Amino acid sequence: MKKMILAAGLLGMSAAPLAAQQGGNRNFEISKNLEIFNDIYKQLDMFYVDSLSADTVIEWGINAMLRRVDPFTVYYPEEGMDELKEMTTGKYAGIGAVIRFYKKDDRVMVIEPIENSPATEAGVKAGDIILSIDGEDMKGKSTQEVSDNLRGDAGTVFELTVKREGVENPLSFKVKRRNIAMPPVPYYGMVADGVGYVCFDRFVDGCSRDVRRAVVDLKEQGAKALVLDLRNNPGGPLSEAVEVTNLFVPRGQKVVYTKGKLASVNSEYYTKKEPLDADIPLVVLVDGATASSAEIVSGAWQDWDRAVIVGERTYGKGLVQMIREVPYHGSLKVTTSRYYIPSGRCIQAYDYRHLNPDGSAGTVPDSLTRAFKTAGGREVRDGGGIKPDVVITPDSLPSIVYDVMASDVLLDYVNHFVRKHPSIAPAGEFSLSDEDYAEFVKMVSESDFTYKRRTEEMMKLLERTARFEGCYDDARPEFEALAQKMAGDVSADLERPKNKEEIKKILEGDIVARYYFQRGAIKQSLKDDKDLEEALKILGDEARYESLLKPVKK
């Protein structure tokens, strides 16, 4: 017994020196590598054939290091602080206009002035091509460069010169910049008898107030059930996620907790207020771009059996960032912990510390995910993101649809349509006629629009493989017959029912945005929305709604 006590004592005595030794080794490794980095830069600065900017080269090194850590840990130098501020507040100082590069003129085009913005008030219209800003020619400038020139301090005035189709001479406008706040709730309204819909597309400071106002207004309009659309919502401040969750969950309920390496970053977040409505039937729409705080909200409601989640599995961003100051007025947005929602699930999907051979981040296969329980006993699983209670598989778009969306000819047609039509039917009721679509097809076929048909590319690959393996000659007639059948014709491809259906939707959305801005485009998009259709079916069937929130009997 004495020998055992002595041995234990010796082990205890050796533990502290061992810990100190390990800490010392780590400090030495850090110092050593910083010294190496410092020396390499000095030698590069001294001996490299060209002169180098210290700010640029060191920032390269910092950014390369952070990219290997995870995509969310980012360094913002002093001149990049506006970007960080815009990310957290949703505000920037500028004119309020969506722009896009127009290849035909090698210039940037205004796609949509934001409603009630300085651009709209000054007379700028969608389709205007930017010629100069305060006399500086913008030809050949990228979208980012033009955007940087349009932005500036609130209250400053500049001259914007544009070319407008149908107007012979350039137009000039005096535009006064001001703070622009992108609305977190760009549209809400009644979508069925007794059912309200809220499009909530971003988390920024104070966004929970906008959601609350929308819900209150809808209830005053007669909403007895709600659809909250979190698709394409990238998330934002954690505090706002708690506030939004609290709108439909009683006070004192856990929303999320965080765990990190340091005890100081470990926190638990609970609802602190009485809910706006703890009983109203609620369906939440999500997709693969629903991330971060949007996943916390949808996941917390799922774990508390408070809402039916509909759509695609969410992105799976379960990493928490903190803003840290760095010397010379910069900031570091650094990942400090992971999110866990009430059931205990971590919503992080990607492992950025153990990359695949191709450099991509790995995910946990479904077979290795773990089971958790909601408050009512339903089984939910981790593995990243929130799996909906009702999964809707999105339709795959034909390749020609993507190519049309990226082309200038789509912009040309929308501009042409708007010039011909001073007004259109209300958003949600507008439809492009077959005659209008035929005019679009004619414009595309007469333009320089080209696209790569994936079937042709696969045919060429199959032919090369057959030649390599020596079996092409025997099958030559079949190859030639299939190639002829698969040969593309732009006009014919645009008229194929599936292609026509999808392209008409895109054209209708872009046209409606010209007359009714973003809110109109969102309302228009709801006409043929599979996720919304399913949500309305669920809310219209009380028994089904209740069954989706109860455990499956085995």
How do residues 245-271 score in pLDDT, each as one tens digit? 999 999 999 999 999 999 999 999 999
Does residue 237 have a pLDDT over 60? yes
What pLDDT shows up at residue 9? 43
Domains and CATH numbers, the chain: 27-69 (no CATH), 91-181 (2.30.42.10), 187-394 (3.90.226.10), 399-453+488-536 (no CATH)
Tokens of 473: 């000659």
Which pLDDT tens digit goes with each residue over 452-496? 767 777 777 888 888 888 888 888 888 777 777 666 678 888 998
Q: How far apart are CA 61 and CA 41, in angstroms?
A: 10
pLDDT for the residue 364: 80
Query: Of 254, 317, 387, 504, which is the active-site residue?
Result: 317
Classify 366 in phi/psi space as left (phi over 0), alpha (psi -120 to 50) or beta. Answer: alpha
Indicate which residue of 208, 292, 298, 331 is catalytic: 292
What is the distance between the alpha carbons of residues 119 and 101, in angstroms, rounded to a whole number? 18
Query: Does 297 have pLDDT greater than 70?
Result: yes
CA dihedral sign, ordered 126, 131, 135, 140? positive
**Angstrom distance (rounded) from CA 135 to CA 159:** 7
Flag whether pLDDT at 330 surpasses 50: yes
Q: How many residues make up the chain in this entry?
A: 554
Given a cut of 60, is residue 16 above it in pLDDT?
A: no
Instruction: Give the model's confidence band at 356: pLDDT under 50 very low, under 70 low, under 90 confident, else very high.
Output: confident
The percentage of residues in the chain with a pLDDT greater than 70, rounded to a whole number, is: 94
- Say whether 101 sits in a helix, a strand or coil: strand
Q: Is 317 a catalytic residue?
A: yes
Query: What average pLDDT does this structure show over 211-237?
Result: 97
pLDDT of residue 21: 55
Q: Label residue 205 left, alpha or beta by phi (over 0 means left) and psi (-120 to 50 means alpha).
A: beta
128, 303, 382, 389: the active-site residue: 303
Per-residue pLDDT, 318: 93
Confidence of residue 10 (pLDDT cuts 50, 70, 90): very low
Using CA atoms, how far residue 550 sits from 296, 306, 383, in Å, is 21, 11, 22
- Of the listed ranges 10-14, 349-353, 367-371, 377-381, the least confidently predicted one is 10-14
Predicted confidence at residue 418, as pLDDT, reads: 93
- For residues 97 and 147, is the Cβ–Cβ distance under 8 A? no
Task: Read off the pLDDT of residues 24-33 as tens digits, 9 standing for 90 and up.
Answer: 688 899 999 9
pLDDT at residue number 20: 54
- Band of the pLDDT at 409, cuts 50, 70, 90? very high
Tell me the pTM.
Answer: 0.87
Phi, psi of 402 (to 5 degrees): -60, -40
Say if strands 371-373 and 379-381 run parallel, antiparallel, or are unpaired: antiparallel
Region 125-147 average pLDDT:
95
Tell me, yes or no, if 292 is annotated catalytic.
Answer: yes
